[in-house]
């Protein structure tokens, strides 16, 4: 399984917030934003900070996606 932050990017667009603005406002490391961009895992504390910033729940910014295995 892997994580998708597609919902986060859509929410930022809907709220007219750029990724660099979010990074600056939350004081996120550049590496953390890179991980989000690459759909890599980030700490739960980061996700909670993002949720607080956007006034949403964790399910509003990410999904767990099942990877298909070819047999």
- Taking only the tens of pLDDT, the chain with its 71 residues reads 899 999 999 999 999 999 999 999 999 999 999 999 999 999 999 999 999 999 999 999 999 998 877 65
pTM over 0.75: yes
| Sign of the Cα pseudo-torsion (8, 13, 17, 21, in order) | positive
Contact 61, 5 (CB under 8 A): yes
Cα torsion 43, 23, 34, 6: sign: positive
What dotted CATH number matches 2-65? 1.10.260.40
Rounded to 5 degrees, φ, ψ at 12 are -60, -40
Q: How far apart are CA 41 and CA 65, in angstroms?
A: 12
């Amino acid at each position: 399984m892997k994580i998708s932050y597609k919902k986060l990017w859509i929410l930022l667009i809907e709220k007219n917030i750029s990724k660099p603005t979010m990074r600056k406002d939350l004081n996120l490391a550049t590496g953390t934003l890179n991980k989000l961009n690459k759909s890599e895992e980030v700490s739960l504390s980061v996700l909670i900070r993002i949720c607080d910033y956007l006034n949403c729940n964790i399910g509003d910014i990410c999904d767990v996606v099942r990877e298909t295995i070819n047999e």
